[in-house]
Amino acid sequence: MTANKAIIHDIVVERLRVKATIDGINAQLKTAKAELMEIDSKLLAEMNEARQTLTRIEGHTISVTSQDLYTPTDWADFNAYCEENRCSYLFQRRLTQKAVQEMMDLGEELPVEKFTKHAISVRKVK
């Protein structure tokens, strides 16, 4: 049994080493993602100021994309509306944007407000 304890000990030590490596990589990834978000915010601001929606740099195409999204102005009102009108299909973890858009297009007055989400898209040009 002593040999098993030694083997288990070695396996646990190896697991802890690998887990520490993963934790370090995840911390680096989190930092890099935050840095990328900051860079994208700066890029979006500069492209907006220059009134540019598309540019090509070093074999990449950078474009500004826009997407209209809906969010309830008051969740209680929205929930009540959905209950009254049997519209549970409007829910996901967030609003189902396409379904809300379709109802708005049909003239329904939903307790939502519209905002535009901007994002940066970078693609390598072949």
DSSP 46-103: HHHHTT-SEEEETTEEEEEEEEEEEEES-HHHHHHHHHHHT-GGGBSSSB-HHHHHHH
What's the pTM value of the predicted model, to 2 decimals?
0.58
Q: What pLDDT sits at residue 1?
A: 56
- Compute the distance between CA of residue 88 and CA of residue 96 in angstroms, rounded to an integer: 10
- pLDDT recorded at residue 94: 77
pLDDT tens string 30-83:
999 999 999 999 999 999 999 999 999 999 999 999 899 999 999 999 999 999
